Structure 1
């Protein structure tokens, strides 16, 4: 099987397991966190404020990995804090997927 197909299959598997690894109850909590905590700097509708917009349209050119590292490690020299001590990798992956999915994005 060509490497590209294997890579795509692994990416699909990783994405599907992310949702499964985060319970429905925790997903609700994470949605609230995005709108309340992230919204404090990125605007209550996440259309921008102190920080840039976090709508799916605004994030189109950003890779999953870039957004994961930004949430996990923060952005040095900016007010963006690291969230790695408050969120698991699965939760950060879920947030990235949530923000990048047009029908889910605020």
Structure 2
């Protein structure tokens, strides 16, 4: 029996250590896990280098058209009527904000 990518991700996330530190920041380990999630799981639609695929490319210029909280909300709640799913069951608001910040400042794609 083969597990779908979604089910493998769900199982992996169930085994993750608590991600938030006492000061509310994310651990370096969790930040690395989120970056891996971005390039592997988000990359399955947006392309492994975020240059597009089933979903659109995610260059910094496009990501900066949103404010960080708006982009985090898009990550958490998805886009109805499209293939963009809600990640709210798998990510916290803090983690979605970290991903949004990463997309706006740290991705290698700048078009």
TM-score, reference length from structure 2: 0.72
Higher normalized helix content (fraction of residues): 1
Matches within 5 A, 1:47-62: 47-62=51-66
Instruction: Report the equivalent of 1:28.
Output: 32
Q: Is 1:65 aligned to 2:63, yes or no?
A: no
Q: Which runs of 5+ in 2 are unaligned?
A: 1-23
> How far apart, CA to CA, are the structure 1 residues paired with 2:96 and 2:25?
11
Q: Which segments of structure 1 move beyond 2 Å, counting only runs of 4 or more?
A: none
Equivalence for 2:94: 90
Q: Separation in 2 of the partners of 1:99 and 1:59?
A: 6
Greater relative contact order: 1 or 2 (C-alpha under 8 angstroms, separation 6 or more)?
A: 1
Corresponding residue of 1:16:
none
Quote the Cα distance in structure 2 between the aligned partners of 1:54 and 1:31: 14
Distance 2:86 2:47 in 1: 18
Give ranges in structure 1 of 5+ residues lacking alignment.
1-19
- The number of equivalent residue pairs is 86
1:76 is the counterpart of 2:42: no
